[in-house]
Structure 1
Amino acid sequence: MHLSNENIQKIDNFLKAIGIELLDIRIEMVDHIATEIEENIDDINAFFEFDGFQTPFIKYMLSKKKSLLNKYQTQQRSLQWNNLKYIFKDILSILKQPYFSVLIVITFSIIHFFGNFYLKSFTLISYGFLLLCYLNLLFISFKFKHLKEFKLFQTYLLVSSMLIMFSVYLPINNNLLNLLFDSSYHIITVYSNFLFFFLTAASQFSLHKKRIILTNKFNSLLF
């Protein structure tokens, strides 16, 4: 006998109640627990019939609480590293695309030939592009905040924000604070800023592709 949507919702609610917040992991756990119940419980209706803490379902889930939380912690750590590897691998694949590669070559060629002549302008433009990336990140974070239950979405936001911060505060740069107070400009800052801009842009482009998949997955959930 298959579980109803209401029964699946009860499983999901229990997992959320004990602190299993990430949808990436919770979806898999709900599916596993639902399958386990379907295979081992004959009277599904009686199993879920409410009777306080004496409800068979509640007693069953409480008996598994410790193992579920331990599994969640292990999967959470593994998921973080897997997500980071996936994101950076996808960033590199995007940067290798012809349209991105040509744009990068053209940009750095222009900086090479004209950067020293228009150093201040190039520096301000490079920070402007990074600011656009940051504003876009804030927009994504606010508009699609429901996707923050996915660890992958959280990791994307982290990677993009860290790339921007690295550029602004990189020791080899005359970072933004030095620029504001000392008005000191250096060609290395321009190269570095545009490098991090392209990395950040690629990460946000990758996030856009994955966001559509995550949104469809979120909208297609039964619970």
Structure 2
Amino acid sequence: MINGIWLAMIVIGFVFAAVNGRMDEFTAAVFDGAKSGVTVSFGLISVLVFWMGMMRVAEDAGLLRKIARLLGPVVGFLFPDVPKGHPAIGYILSNMSANLLGLGNAATPMGIKAMQELQTLNPDKETATPAMCTLLALNTASITLIPATLIAIRLNYGSAEPAGIVGTTLAATAVATLAAIAADRLFRRLTLLRRPPKPPAIRPGDSARGGPALPHSSMKG
């Protein structure tokens, strides 16, 4: 779907440029965009490598385990339908820890592994479970303490104060996370209300209509 959207945008831009006689500007924009993409990518590599290294140091020092221990009760509240000790819990904690440090590229593989583990608990493989929806919402709107990727982009484009967005990013992601949790709780309750009630179990002595079987009286002639 995404590839189709990008292809349509490229084709439409090419057609409009050809119709309006602006192919030179179109070609220049394509090459300038490719050049900017490569420049930004190289600028991000150094910062991401630095923060990935810092994350590895924090993991070896036990910082991530402490963060995971602090987030444990929160994960238990947000994912009540995931059994304690399930492998998905560990991947969810790693995903949330990486997002807290602004390492979205490191959080994505952990999120994918968490989804795969949650799929093992899914009775209907074609429908996402509430836990999957919760993880997707939290991964999208996660509280970020250090927006490392955005700082790297601002630094690469010559910002006078690349880290000046830390406070606003923290506030924005906090509000987004609270909104995501509120929406998740709401839809969980609506799902429970819409779920049809389970039929009562028929005991061996009950009749086919669901009521208790009546004793037969003997007939005397």
Q: Taking structure 2 as the reference length, what is the TM-score of the superposition?
A: 0.31
**TM-score, scaled to structure 1:** 0.31
* Larger relative helix fraction: 1
User: Which is bigger in relative contact order (C-alpha 8 A, separation at least 6)?
Assistant: 1
